[in-house]
Amino acid sequence: MTALTRDRNTPLKNAEVIGVPAAANAVIHAGAIVVANATGFAAPGSTATTLTYLGRAEESVDNTGGANGAATVLVRRLNAFKWANDGSITQAHQGKTAYIVDDQTLAATDGTGTRSAAGRIVGIDTDGVWIE
C-alpha cells in the first residue's frame, strides 16, 4: 500500500470484549483467566510457557469433545482484573510482571521458566493482585 493522499474511512472495532475460538476440549469457567494457546485458541490459564494472557472470561464455555474453534468464549480485556495471589507477590512487585499459575492464580516469578506472563501488577490487596 502507498501512503494516504486523502481521508480514509478506517473501520473501528470495540475490542473490550472479544470472541475467541476455544481450544479443543477446553473448559473455561466464567470469571477465569483466559489465555491464547500456542495455536491461538482460547484456553483456561495454566502453568505453561506458550500462553498469551488475554483477560477474563465473560461466560462459561465447555468445548469438551469439540475441535479447535467449535465453541467461542467472550473475553473482557483492556481492564485491570483482580486475581488470586499464590503468596509470592508483595508490594515490592508493584509495576512488575506477574505470571500465570492456573485459571485464577498469579505468581511473582516465572517458576524457573515454566510459567507465561500475565501482565503488569497495578495493585496488591490482601485478597488478590490487580493485573492490567
Q: For residue range 80-108, list pLDDT tens digits in order.
A: 999 999 999 999 999 999 999 999 999 99
Asked if residue 1 belongs to a domain, the reply is: no
Q: Which of 59, 76, 93 is the last residue of a domain?
A: 76
Is the pLDDT confidence value at 1 over 90? no
Alpha-carbon span 80 to 36, nearest angstrom: 18
Report pTM.
0.93
Let me know whether 24 and 67 are in one domain: yes
Let me know whether 21 and 72 are in one domain: yes
- Residue 105: give the domain boundaries: 81-131
Q: Is the dihedral of CA 18, 74, 51, 129 positive or negative?
A: positive
**How do residues 14-73 score in pLDDT, each as one tens digit?**
999 999 999 999 999 999 999 999 999 999 999 999 999 999 999 999 999 999 999 999
For residue 72, the model assigns a pLDDT of 98
Domains held by the chain: number: 2
Asked if residue 10 belongs to a domain, the reply is: no
What residue spans of 1-132 are helical by DSSP H?
none
Let me know whether 24 and 72 are in one domain: yes
Asked if residue 25 belongs to a domain, the reply is: yes
